[in-house]
Structure 1
Amino acid sequence: MKLDSIRAIANAVLYEGYILYPYRPSSIKNRQRWTFGGVFPKAFDQQGDASRMETQVLLRGGEQAAFKVHFRFLQVMTREVGQLTTPAQELPEEDEPALTRVPSLHVDGRELLAWEEAIEREIVIGPLRPADVQVAASVTPFCFKGAREFEPVRDRSGRIVAALIRTSQTIEGVVEAKAEMLSPDVWRLTIGIENVTPLSGAVRDERARAQLRAFTSTHAILTVKDGAFVSLLDPPDDLREAAGQCRNVGAFPVLVGGRDNSAMLSSPIILYDHPAIAPESPGDLFDGTEIDEILTLRILAMTDAEKREMASVDARARALLERTHALTAEDMARLHGVMRNHQSQASEFEPPPMGGDHEKLRLVSLLETGRSLCVGARVRLRPKSGGDIMDIVLKDKIAVVEAIERDFEDRIHVAVTLVDDPGRDLGAAGFPGHRFFFSQEEIEPIAVGDGP
């Protein structure tokens, strides 16, 4: 399969938690970032911060099978704000400009903020045949040199009055790959990445400074030609024991892409086999555990000042803000009420035909008071005491009965939609969020003409 087809999933893992709602540096949660897939320098000996990530997977394939490994991670890069002591037409080419570092600065309506950005890194090894790394592991060292860059910031007159200072540290690591034959056509692959960046005494004792030399959101994409990977979540019976013996440190390998099982994603986040990006999602929100619709509405509800701060974070935050404001009504509708099965495919749910209440009136139950209850009837909600917050909110609301259902324990549940709910049609079609269930004792039929 083509690597590009699974890049979207891998990128979602790469940028998970990069910035979270409310998408502003002033938020506490955005001061505590880089929480997934951290591989710290080996010299940084702190409990809970690993210096190595290791993955073991099973591969079916003969002598012609060949695999590749793409290790990917983010390297944290600091962005500081410097105010020039004296405005200038150009920055000096060799020496650093004379400036004062400040946490934030306003330049003609533009807000400059100190922040931590990220650089995407990738190390590729292979293709390798398992037999070639059976006796001795393939060892690939790598190094990314540190750098410092100054981005000039000009005022309306064209003078440089400030600079954004981006600094990255030198990082070093080693990638290893080894194979063990379990049977003539089954191999156990072991791949690992280790951070061997040297540290000085001061950095060794300070986690925030060690973080700048760590690998963040580390994960690996494995692909194979003339072979197939084996699911560790649902292995075939003949490999169930071997799958259970695979050792993974800080990684959770799952099948990705097509059903030919030619690719795996070793993720620092627990996923299921064949994860997918929801086709309705308009773009990355950096929080795959949230609901796009909720985050989108929250962004739109932010104040102008909050949006200005969000736009000042970096290019990714600005793109998210601009994309959210560009959504049409149709785009928003696609985010609402999608039902899926466990394989992340759209359900085959067919909503009942819509029509007037008179078209679906039929007697389906009888209340103890002797009054009949039927689909289409209007009722007043009387939740029992001790209910949850939703019961409290819906108390005394007028609703319409959409269905009366009996569960496996022979209990009756009445499904209703609220008369004053703008999304009542969605509830009538069976979608959650606009459809509520109550017992017979919690609803009170009302006569025609009563209520709103």
Structure 2
Amino acid sequence: MTAALEAARRVADAVLYEGYLLYPYRASAAKNRVRWQFGVLVPPAYSSTGEPSATLTECLLEAPGDAALDVRLRFLHVTCRRVERAGSRGHRPVLRLEAGGRTYLTYDQATEREIRFAPRLAELHEAGQTVEVHVAGDRTYEPIIDGGGARVGRVVSVHEPIDAVVRIGAERLPGPYGLVRLRVAVDNASSWDRPDAPREHALRRSLVAAHLLLAVTHAAFVSLLDPPEWAAAAARLCRNEHTWPVLVGEPGRRDAVLSSPIILYDYPSIAPESPGDLFDATEIDELLTLRALTLTEEEAREARATDPRAAEILDRAAELPPEVLERLHGAIRGLGDVGPPSVPWWDPGADGTVSPDTDSVLVAGRKVARGSRVRLHPGHRRADAHDMFLAGRTALVEGVFLDVDGVRHLAVTLEDDEGADLQRAQGRFLYFAPDEVEPIDEGSRP
């Protein structure tokens, strides 16, 4: 692997495992029953979920002459992991089995796959290159032994075969700058004949968290997010479907691109304070680490049985030195002006049809506007467990806001929050839909 790709691998790995397993890292948790949300390429004949079976990446190269490319297709291959109990009539699938002081759970895992191509740019200009990818299926068995040495069951791990086609081409664009448009299409070509099968079955023949790592020598990529003026028109012509190519590696270098299923900026990086992967690189390591430490013994036991990677998270959280945990609390990346901004982040003059300070909505037949008192009733649409602590609290409406979809939201501060004045000065509010609040009389007590 080139130095450029090696530097980009940590970010690429974070993309590969984003959402692989979320806190509380247990198989029984609702959020871990709907998995594999990013970069899923399903078999083309599977249409139940509307997920794509292909991606297209187009990016720009400054390549006045020939250049060597290093193209890597990376994805997760879902492993069907099934626990079976031994009996007089053979083995029977079960969700859970306790034996020898361990817990065994039926729960799918995943294996990393990486396929590499190293074409010359000159070859791609002439006819392009088509590569057929075949990942063979396999089946393994792990015996489950009880404390007395008897075999009481087994763990069956199955990889179903996956077929894919990668098409790489290049087109030299007219003009004096030596620009080349590089095109890489990835198609899941796996067969599928079960139109009504559950999604979890189709995932076993899908490319999960699929992305591309591209590196080049004797040439340079051009940013599509912030192209130079002379390349802006060519950048707008690049078509990217279900993927997002950005420059990666050391800032300023232009020899590597990550084509990601997650929207990123150029030169993304993992915070240097992060002690290890938590499978949620967009979250806060301190929060997830502290939450891992709050799991009960039974919850931690289930997490360890769910996936070996979950066990690694719990071990790391338990052994994290205080000075490392302290570094997770915050970091100063640079110094700038402090204090409230001279101009509010929202400028009422930008749209004369809306005014958070004077707009109102009707709730239960009563007008609610800035200064109204309401009681909070967080609705079923919310997924954050912390919202339960807001139920029944009284709040003051600070403004009525309109989002880009034309939906109104009430910005509020809690009446019993001693920091409300500071939040008001900074424009940091809690937001609720009109049907999540109840107007209350001015004379009622908080």
Cα deviation for residue 35 of structure 1 reads 0.6
Residue of structure 1 aligned with 2:205, choices 193, 209, 213: 213
The equivalent residue for 1:66 is 68
The equivalent residue for 2:349 is none
The equivalent residue for 2:437 is none
Cα deviation for residue 396 of structure 1 reads 9.3
TM-score w.r.t. length of structure 1: 0.74
Identity of aligned residues (%): 40
Residue of structure 2 aligned with 1:25, choices 22, 27, 38: 27
Per the alignment, in what secondary structure is the counterpart of residue 62 of structure 1? coil
Cα deviation for residue 47 of structure 1 reads 5.9
Conservation of the 8 A alpha-carbon contact between 1:43 and 1:204: no
Conservation of the 8 A alpha-carbon contact between 2:395 and 2:415: no
The equivalent residue for 1:188 is 181
2-side partners of 1:51 and 1:3: how far apart? Answer: 26
Instruction: Confirm or deny that 1:264 pairs with 2:257.
Output: yes
Matches within 5 A, 1:270-289: 270-289=263-282
Instruction: Confirm or deny that 1:174 pairs with 2:182.
Output: no
Instruction: String of CA shifts for 1:257-287, please: whole Å, max 9, x gaps.
Output: 0222100000000000000000001111111
2-side partners of 1:385 and 1:154: how far apart? Answer: 61
Cα 1:99/1:210, change in 2 over 3 Å: same
1-side partners of 2:86 and 2:195: how far apart? Answer: 29
TM-score w.r.t. length of structure 2: 0.75
Matches within 5 A, 1:396-411: none
Shifted more, 241-250 versus 176-185: the winner is 176-185
Q: Give the gaps of 5 or more residues in structure 1.
A: 87-96, 340-345, 352-382, 402-411, 415-431, 433-452
Residue of structure 2 aligned with 1:311, choices 304, 323, 338: 304
**AA matched with 1:234:** D
Per the alignment, in what secondary structure is the counterpart of residue 202 of structure 1? coil
Per the alignment, in what secondary structure is the counterpart of residue 395 of structure 1? coil
Residue of structure 2 aligned with 1:229, choices 212, 216, 221: 221
1-side partners of 2:19 and 2:69: how far apart? Answer: 30
Matches within 5 A, 1:13-412: 13-46=15-48, 48-85=50-87, 98-129=90-121, 131-183=122-174, 185-199=178-192, 201-202=193-194, 206-258=198-250, 259-339=252-332, 346-348=333-335, 385-386=396-397, 391-395=414-418
Cα 1:261/1:171, change in 2 over 3 Å: same
**AA matched with 1:180:** E
Matches within 5 A, 1:3-14: 3-14=5-16
2-side partners of 1:300 and 1:162: how far apart? Answer: 32
Conservation of the 8 A alpha-carbon contact between 2:47 and 2:195: no
Q: Give the gaps of 5 or more residues in structure 2.
A: 339-393, 399-410, 429-446
The equivalent residue for 2:358 is none
2-side partners of 1:173 and 1:396: how far apart? Answer: 55
**AA matched with 2:158:** T
Cα 1:385/1:348, change in 2 over 3 Å: closer
Instruction: String of CA shifts for 1:399-445, please: whole Å, max 9, x gaps.
Output: 9x9xxxxxxxxxx969xxxxxxxxxxxxxxxxx9xxxxxxxxxxxxx
Cα 1:241/1:182, change in 2 over 3 Å: same
Q: CA RMSD in A?
A: 2.7
Instruction: String of CA shifts for 1:377-401, please: whole Å, max 9, x gaps.
Output: xxxxxx994467764453399x9x9
Cα deviation for residue 172 of structure 1 reads 0.5
**AA matched with 1:202:** R
Per the alignment, in what secondary structure is the counterpart of residue 51 of structure 2? coil
Cα 1:394/1:249, change in 2 over 3 Å: same
**AA matched with 2:417:** L
